[in-house]
Amino acid sequence: MSGSTKPRRFTHARAVLSGSIGNTVEWYDWFVYANFALYFAGQFFPKGNPTAQLMNTAAVFAVGFLARPLGGWVLGRIADRRGRKFGLTLSVTMMSFSALLIAIAPPHQHAGYLGAVLLLIARIMQGISVGGEYAASAAYLTEVSQRGRRGLGSSFQYVSVTIGQLLGLVVLMVLQAVMTEEQLTSWGWRIPFVIGAVAALVVFYLRRRMHETSAYVEEESHDAQMRRGTLREVWKHRRAAVLVFALTLGGSVAFYTYTTYLTKYLSNSVGLSKPDAARVMFIALCLFTVLLPLGGAISDKIGRRPVLIFFGVGTTLGTYPIMTSMQRWPSFGVALALTMLALTIVAGYSSVNACVKAELFPTGIRTVGVAIPYALAQAIFGGTAEYVALAFRDAGVENYFFFYVSACGLVSLLTYLLMPETRTAALSRAEQELQSSGKETVA
């Protein structure tokens, strides 16, 4: 290996690490809401049926997803016109403020529905923040990754997402160990939101020191500057936008089923204790984190489509037997094994979805082009997955939800079978010139 190659690879790795750290904190703040919903569900709504209280908090969770298309458009446009660094810094600022707002929201018994209103406002802000964060992060990590290793580099987006979830679960398990359930329900659930607000301020400082991607800098000097990030330009690439929506549909439903709803399913339907359910998720997510770079690296060798097809087949055929088997054999070991199997399947989507979406769009609209269809799919399907599941449970037909997840997986599977391979796509004008001259090959 030449001496000049090592520093270059180190630079790529450092840029990926820099982009991932902030993403971790953003998604910690996003998911900690779901992790602690079991404890604060009764704080903001009148006393009554626990399932109804969870449905209320799940509805607020879903509203955050409804705000994501707005965030995708506004922050995505900003990231395309002002730079990935600027967009990512703005999103983490909003996330810090929203986490603090949840931490100080008053309970229903003291201020009526004021707390629920503040919870709703904070969740909308989080939705706007994450709506821009996802696409800007996908564009940033894909653009700074070395060509031929974009699958591996961009897989760290979901690695950082999952680490954020794991940190949320660690906080949950620590608080469960040192506090009584009454303390957690009364005031302890506020602690993780305070942690998230402070951590986001630290990330704000780190992101101000990030370097802009070379692909964006190159585009910035081009005469098409005024067209960057516009809906008119996105419309020219509407086929790519439809592909992003369709390939996200099944992935988002499966991801949120197995990473957020499953904790409640294991506690409410399978019969595990809340601490055991949290431990199952923690161990399984640790495996998931390891599988994501592996899936990304495999996609660099064989292409994105085979990895996505693995996910589509597994979700379509495996959801019902996995979920029903947990109820049939309600034990910690069985729940852990089946959760690990489910997340192995989901890794087929999560490991490559960032790069395959970024590879569908040119630099000037890469962020907003990914953000809008992705956020719409998340709002309609991913964000409502938990609410749909609880609605089926409340109606006494919980198993219908498993067929719903399978059907969504089938839609995405058909998309994967019909879509083009994106592994060799050029992300910048320089790459396009090298590709057309035949001087560059994909590793």
> What's residue 6's pLDDT?
45
Residue 87 burial (CB < 10 Å; 0-12/13-18/19+)? buried
Q: How far is CA 370 from CA 167, 173, 395, 410, in A?
A: 27, 35, 36, 22
The verdict on residue 233 lying in a domain is no
Residue 107, Cα to own-chain centre: how many angstroms?
29
Torsion-angle region of residue 112: left (phi > 0), alpha (psi -120 to 50) or beta? left
pTM value is 0.76
The verdict on residue 433 lying in a domain is no
The verdict on residue 174 lying in a domain is yes
The verdict on residue 8 lying in a domain is no
| Domain span at 25 | 18-209+257-424
- Closest by CA to 146, choosing from 247, 215, 90, 64, is 215
The verdict on residue 438 lying in a domain is no
Structural domain tally of the chain? Answer: 1
The verdict on residue 63 lying in a domain is yes
Burial 131-155 (b: 16+ CB within 10 A, else e): bbbbbbbbbbbbbbbbbbbbbbbbb
CATH number where 183 lies: 1.20.1250.20
> What's residue 434's pLDDT?
47
The verdict on residue 47 lying in a domain is yes
> What's residue 410's pLDDT?
96
Q: Give me the tens of pLDDT residue by residue for the chain, a chain 443 residues long.
A: 444 444 445 465 666 666 667 778 877 887 787 778 777 777 776 666 566 666 666 677 667 777 877 877 777 777 777 777 777 778 777 888 888 888 888 876 777 778 778 888 888 888 888 777 777 777 777 777 667 777 787 787 788 888 888 888 888 888 888 988 888 888 888 899 898 888 877 777 776 666 666 666 665 555 455 455 566 777 777 888 899 999 899 999 999 899 878 888 898 888 888 888 888 988 998 999 999 999 989 998 998 899 999 999 999 999 999 999 998 988 899 999 999 999 999 999 999 888 888 888 877 777 778 888 888 888 888 878 888 888 888 888 889 999 999 999 999 999 999 988 877 765 555 455 444 555 544 44
The verdict on residue 72 lying in a domain is yes
> What's residue 246's pLDDT?
92
> What's residue 14's pLDDT?
64
> What's residue 322's pLDDT?
95
Number of residues in the chain? 443
